[in-house]
Amino acid sequence: MPEPTSTTAAAAATYAAAGLSVPMLTAFGVNLGLRADVLIAGFFGSLVAIILLNSVPSAGDTWQHLVRTTFKRMFVAVASSVTAGYLTPLALLLASLPDALLLSAAFGVGGGAQRVLLILIAKFGVPPASNDGSAP
């Protein structure tokens, strides 16, 4: 007769392993390579940047300005969380940090994504065209 604890231990190990794995997000059947926990950490980092650091300041006091600012803040939060989802594993790899710092790094990347992306676009992006009609 088999030991009853062996099947219980195997079932517990299976449930524990299933709980540790984080599924990747898919859209329209395509694996995006994004982890939900990293996206949430990046989203909370962007909320901290928006609320505490005022990275998206309000432009005015009318309802049109408030609606425009609200939409801009929502898009910044979504873009920052997606940026954190894709760039955090790369940042950990380049900085040789352990995987235990994944979520805290995602929080930091989400919080600083707007400023860092603006700096990178200014440095490596195409310069804006001048309106005076002269060739670059």
Output the 3-class SS for 40-109. Answer: HHHHHHHHHHHHCCCCCCCCCCCHHHHHHHHHHHHHHHHHHHHHHHHHHHHHHHHHCCCHHHHHHHHHHH
pLDDT of residue 122: 82
pLDDT along the chain (136 residues), means of 10: 54 51 74 86 91 82 88 90 89 87 90 82 73 56
Show me where the domains of the chain are located. 30-124
What's the pLDDT score for residue 118?
Answer: 78
